[in-house]
Amino acid sequence: MIVLPMAVPFIVLVLAAILAMLGLRRTAVWIWFLALAVTVYVLQSHITDPLKVAL
Amino acid sequence: MNTLARALNALALVGVCAVLGVAFYWQIARGELPCPLCLLQRMALLGAGLGFMLNVRFGSSESHYGVVIVSALVGGAVAARQVLLHIVPGTGSYGSALLGWHFYTWALVAFFLIALFAAALLFIEAQFAEGVSEWRPSVGAQVLGWLFVVIALGNTVSTLLECGFGPCPDNPTGYQLLQK
C-alpha cells in the first residue's frame, strides 16, 4: 500500500481554500471532498500510526 | 445573507484561526511537535474552517455547512481515537496540557461544539433566501478568508518540514527536512 506523505491532504486543502478565495466555489467544495478522502486514506495507511496496531 | 448568520460564521472562522494559531504557537515557542494524529486533527479543523470561510466568502449554503459538519465528525473521530489511546492507566499521554486537558481532549470538545454550532446555524433559514450567486464579499470577508489561507499554508509548510516526504514518526523530535 502506498504511504502518502502527511502533507498531501494539507496541500489539497490549501488548493481548495485558494480556489474558494478566487471565486471557484463548487470546485473548492469538490477539492475539499478530495482532501477529506486523502485525510482518511492517510489515517488508515500511515504505518507508524497507533491505529494500525490497535486494529 | 442574513446579518446574524454572517457574523456568526465570521466569528467561527476567527475561532478556528485562533485555535490553529495557539497550536502553532505551542509548536514553535514551546517546541512541541504535533504527532500524526494531532496533524490529522489540524487538518480536520482546517476543513471546518473552509466551510465557514465559504459561508463568509460566498454567502450561506447548505453544502458549506455540510463541509463544516463532516470535517468536524472526521476530526472528532481522530481526536476520540487519540483520547482512547491514552485513556488506559499507565499508557501516558502526548504533549503537555493546557488548563488541565491535553490538546487532543480539547480538540474532541472543540469538534463536538463546531458540529453543534453549525447545526444550530442551519436553523436560521433567512440566510439561504439570498442565494450564493448574488453574494458580494466585503473587504473584511476577503481579509479573513486570505488570513485563513495563510494559516492553512503555514500548517502545510510546517507538516512538510516535520514529516518530509515519508511516513511521519509517532513521536517526532525534529523537523525531518531540516535535519537532512
Average pLDDT over residues A11-29: 92
Of the ranges B72-76, B79-83, B165-169, the best mean pLDDT one = B72-76
Q: Do A49 and B46 touch (CB under 8 A)?
A: no
- pTM equals 0.88
Q: In A, which residues are within 8 Å of B54 by CB distance? A: 20, 25, 28-29
The 10 Å CB-count burial string (b at 16+, else e) for B8-31 is: bbbebbbbbbebbeebbebbeeee
User: Residues near B90 by Cβ (< 8 Å), separated by ≥ 6?
Assistant: none
As beta bridge partners, residue B98 has B101
Contact yes or no for B166/A8 (Cβ under 8 A): no
Average pLDDT over residues B105-109: 91
- What are the boundaries of each domain within chain A? 7-54
Q: In B, which residues are within 8 Å of A9 by CB distance? A: 40, 43
Size of interface A-B (CB pairs under 8 A): 105
Q: Do B53 and A20 touch (CB under 8 A)?
A: yes
Closest residue by Cα to residue A7 from B23, B158, B149:
B158
Compute the half-sphere exposure of residue B129: CA atoms within 13 Å on the CB side of its CA.
9
pLDDT over 70 at A47, yes or no: no
User: Which of these CATH numbers, 1.10.8, 1.10.10, 1.20.1550, 1.10.357, describes B3-179?
Assistant: 1.20.1550
As given in the structure block, the three cell numbers for residue B173 are: 523530535
Between CA B163 and CA B155 the distance in angstroms is: 12
Q: Do B71 and A14 touch (CB under 8 A)?
A: no
B40 touches chain A (CB under 8 A): yes
Q: Do B40 and A5 touch (CB under 8 A)?
A: no
CA distance B59 to chain A (A): 11
Convert the pLDDT of each residue in B43-58 to its tens digit: 999 999 999 999 998 8
Who among A3, A9, A20 is closest to B54 (CB)? A20
Q: Do A18 and B149 touch (CB under 8 A)?
A: yes
ipTM (interface predicted TM): 0.85
Contact yes or no for A36/B45 (Cβ under 8 A): no
User: Residues near A39 by Cβ (< 8 Å), separated by ≥ 6?
Assistant: A9, B40, B43, B44, B47, B74
Closest residue by Cα to residue A17 from B160, B76, B21, B16:
B16
DSSP state of B168: P
Convert the pLDDT of each residue in B130-178 to its tens digit: 777 656 778 888 899 999 999 999 999 988 888 888 777 777 777 777 7
Burial of B136: CB neighbours in 10 Å, binned 0-12, 13-18, 19+ = exposed
Between CA B122 and CA B127 the distance in angstroms is: 9
Burial of A1: CB neighbours in 10 Å, binned 0-12, 13-18, 19+ = exposed
Who among B40, B54, B148 is closest to A28 (CB)? B54
Who among B78, B149, B160 is closest to A43 (CB)? B78
Least confident of A28-32, A34-38, B81-85: B81-85
Closest residue in A to B146 (Cα–Cα): A21
Burial of B91: CB neighbours in 10 Å, binned 0-12, 13-18, 19+ = exposed
- CA B36 to centroid of chain Cα atoms: 15
Q: Do B50 and A20 touch (CB under 8 A)?
A: yes
CB atoms within 10 A of CB B54: 29
- What are the boundaries of each domain within chain B? 3-179
